[in-house]
A = this chain, B = another copy of it.
Amino acid sequence: MQTQTKKHDSNCLVAYGIDTFGDRWSFLVLRDMMLYGKCRYGDFLASEEQIATNILAARLKHLESEGIISKARDPENRRSYIYSLTEKGLDLAPVLLEIIRWSSRYMKMTARRRRLLERIEADRDGILADIRARRAILTAP
């Protein structure tokens, strides 16, 4: 499967966003990168949602083709790759935070979630800075 080329082909800003990063799996990959600092194929596969290998490969390719992530060889392991957020990808952090804020209002709270929410409300800029600096916001789920 190659990345689809048209989708909505809409003239709308919202549709553009949805088409670019808004499918069910792409955004979870971005979450893994922004929240957990994940950057390897195997890390993404290990997420709780159990993404299939072909889907992951397709999404990584798609996100790369959209300029949201970039792929480079791992300097410490010649047969591994490192995926990282581009500027365009980092700019999605506010979308992620708003989704988290919304969900945390309507999903049952846990202590862990409450701490994350409190930090978003109290130190949003610090979180955005951490994401840009590739520092994980949360430790493993």
Interface positions of A (Cβ within 8 A of B): 7-8, 10-20, 22-24, 27-28, 31, 35, 48-49, 88, 91-92, 94-107, 113, 116, 141
Q: Is the CB of B27 within 8 A of A18?
A: yes
Q: Is the CB of A94 within 8 A of B102?
A: yes
Chain A contact surface mostly: helix
Q: Which residues on the B side are within 8 Å of A107 (C-beta)?
A: 13, 16
A95 to B18, CA, bound (A): 12
Q: Which residues on the B side are within 8 Å of A99 (C-beta)?
A: 13-14, 17-18, 95
**CB of A127, distance to nearest CB on chain B (Å):** 14
> Please, which residue of chain B has its CB at the minimum distance from the CB of A27?
B18
